[in-house]
Structure 1
């Protein structure tokens, strides 16, 4: 019977750690891109702006 002084984490804990590390790396890469001036506006923000503009025009046409 062998005993180890440091128990190994269960498989789920190891996978969770890998997910956290990948997430941190993605965030770190995004921050570096933003610092270099490669910032882009998210697609959902552009879509929302388009909907608001078209909605405003339609409101002007139909309500006035």
Structure 2
């Protein structure tokens, strides 16, 4: 019986994960996609490093 309960909990977790992924895909298709903050920080860092390289070597 304990094995059945554990298996049921695992299946519930998988179903919740699938539902979450499905909802995210639907949001992205509606145009509600947002770029993660860390991606924006990396892009800003690259721009600033490039600018600093131009200023310091020019």
TM above 0.5, yes or no, is: yes
Q: Which has the higher helix share?
A: 2
**What TM-score range do you get, normalising by the shorter chain?**
0.7 to 0.9
| Of 13, 17, 23, the match for 1:19 | 13
Structure 1: runs of 5+ lacking an equivalent: 1-6
Kindly name which structure, 1 or 2, has the bigger radius of gyration based on alpha carbons: 1
Q: TM-score, normalised by structure 2?
A: 0.77
User: What count of residue pairs does the alignment treat as equivalent?
Assistant: 58
Tell me how large the CA RMSD over aligned residues is: 2.0
Deviating above 2 A after TM superposition, structure 1's stretches of 4 or more consecutive aligned residues are 7-15
Q: TM-score, normalised by structure 1?
A: 0.71
